Amino acid sequence: MEEKDLARAFNPRTVAVVGVSTTNMFHPANIIYNKNFYGYDCEVFAVNPKGGEIDKRPVYRSLAEVPEKVEMAVVAVKARVVPDVARECADAGVETMVVISGGFAEMGPEGRELQDRLVEICEKASITLIGPNCFGVYAPPAVDTFFLPPERTVLPVMGRTAVASQSGAFLVDQIMTSFHEVGLGLSVAVSMGNKAMVSEEDLLLHFAARDDTDTLCFYIEGIDEGVRRFIESAREVTPDKPIVVYSGGKSERGKSAAKSHTAALAADRELVQGALKQSGILEAETESEVTSFCKILSFYRRPLHLCNVAIISSSGGHGVVASDLADAAGINIPQFSSLRRKELLSLLDPTIRDIASVSNPVDLTGSASDLDFERSLDYLLAQDDIEAALVLTLPYTPMMTSFVGTRLGQVVKRHDKPVVAYVPNLAKYQMVLEGFELNGIPVVHGISEGIEMFKALKLVGDSC
């Protein structure tokens, strides 16, 4: 399949928003127009056949009236009018259309016919069509076509993960919000909607070629020819850039909902799972895993083959919970030999040697200091059979300081092995969190998230 040139779709210099209202400031088109006018690098123009003004700025009656060549048109009008707008875009030399409007293939045969007509016009004019029935593209600092008021949404920082989703609401509410909460950055995000022209495979190839993107994440509903091509093309991408996929429509009820949502086609669950695995794709089974997988891959790519992980904690209970979760995920928490336990104990402060448990999980107790954690982690990462470590830090213990993250970060830099740190989600521990993450150790606020991260590295190992 010939690769589509999508560069302009993510970096337009001029954008026209078609459907802007002079009477309803909450119209989706107005939200898109205003957020881009005030917050993004593109030059944006308002278009409505009635003309008029918004905040003393002109509303043009047509694309032909816009004083500059429009590279991207964002369309938020009634579905039946969209083909006419597409013809106008063709006449004006528009390169990309983002159609927010719904009422196409997801509505049945009549909507399908309307969508086919739209595609025909765009193909004839070499216009790249994103959507319809979508949120479009979020590509900071160039453009944001999501019709959501900025004061009601949270956006991730800029980073090196690209995301594509059939569902715009799932993208914003689940993926982008979760990324924001864990400090994971985005390079670009795309809501594909009905993906009438731009499919998962097109976005896969574009993301893979981007210099600002290291990890690719997709939410798909059902399976069609585009998804099949996506899975096949992934074989060429996964050795260089990992791909995380979360799929909806797994259950019979979910398949039905997906069909009415974006006209997605149902598929045999086991066949999809097998195809994803064979292409080296990491399939997330839950929403939480989507974020955990993407975050660990933004820090580490080293696969786990033995899946042997050491757990170091200042709480025995936390270690037990981590062990149970690890067992369920197929992560090994190997018991240490008597020699290893003896060597570990010799590294600890004499005041805790009689009360610490060093079997794995290693319970250093609430009396452990930064130095106890530092020496234990350094020793364990030096062992050939230990591939990674989970550090469960409870910063309210009296001997632990706010510099524990920074100190353990220096230890990790001496070893080429993944380490994940648990830190309670409290603002007062922000310095601890930053100490870890600025020194290359991802932080989680739930023990289960840490195990999910190791599961991702296990899956990377399975695909090697």
Indicate if the alpha-carbon torsion angle 172, 175, 178, 184 is positive or negative.
Answer: negative
Helices (H), 16-125: 28-39, 82-92, 109-124
Mean pLDDT over the full length of the chain: 93
The terminus-to-terminus CA distance of the chain in angstroms comes to: 26
Which domains, ranges and CATH numbers included, belong to the chain?
1-133 (3.40.50.720), 154-299 (3.40.50.261), 301-462 (3.40.50.261)
- CB-side neighbour CA atoms (13 Å) of 194: 25
Residue 194 CB coordination number (10 Å): 26
Per cent of the chain over pLDDT 90 is 86
Which tens digit of pLDDT belongs to each residue from 246-266?
997 554 544 545 454 444 445
Structure-block tokens of residue 452: 């999910």
Q: Shortest CA distance to 324 belongs to which of 337, 311, 336? A: 311
State residue 2's pLDDT score: 56
- Alpha-carbon distance of 312 to 400, in angstroms, equals 14
DSSP output for 51-72 = --EETTEEEESSGGGSSS--SE
Residue recorded with tokens 């196409």: 104
Structure-block tokens of residue 10: 């993510």
Inform me whether the pLDDT recorded for 460 exceeds 60: yes
Angle, alpha carbons 359-299-444 (nearest 5°) = 55
State residue 265's pLDDT score: 45
Residue 427 DSSP label: G
Angle, alpha carbons 339-340-342 (nearest 5°) = 65
Structure-block tokens of residue 128: 């790249």
Mean pLDDT of 415-424: 96
Which tens digit of pLDDT belongs to each residue from 3-25?
678 999 999 999 999 999 999 99
State residue 225's pLDDT score: 79
User: Is residue 199 helix, strand or coil?
Assistant: coil
- Which are the contacts of 163, defined by CB distance < 8 A and separation ≥ 6? 171, 175, 176, 186, 188, 189, 190, 216, 217, 218, 219
Inform me whether the pLDDT recorded for 370 exceeds 80: yes
State residue 3's pLDDT score: 66
Structure-block tokens of residue 148: 């959501």
Inform me whether the pLDDT recorded for 129 exceeds 50: yes
Identify whether the C-beta of residue 394 lies closer than 8 Å to the C-beta of residue 315: yes
- Alpha-carbon distance of 65 to 86, in angstroms, equals 16
State residue 258's pLDDT score: 47
Mean pLDDT of 50-71: 96
Mean pLDDT of 334-338: 97
Query: H or E element: which one contains 189?
Result: strand 186-191
User: Is residue 137 helix, strand or coil?
Assistant: strand
- Alpha-carbon distance of 36 to 42, in angstroms, equals 7
pTM for this predicted structure = 0.92
Which tens digit of pLDDT belongs to each residue from 149-205?
988 889 999 999 999 999 999 999 999 999 999 999 999 999 999 999 999 999 999
Structure-block tokens of residue 149: 């008021």
Phi, psi of 342 (to 5 degrees): -65, -45
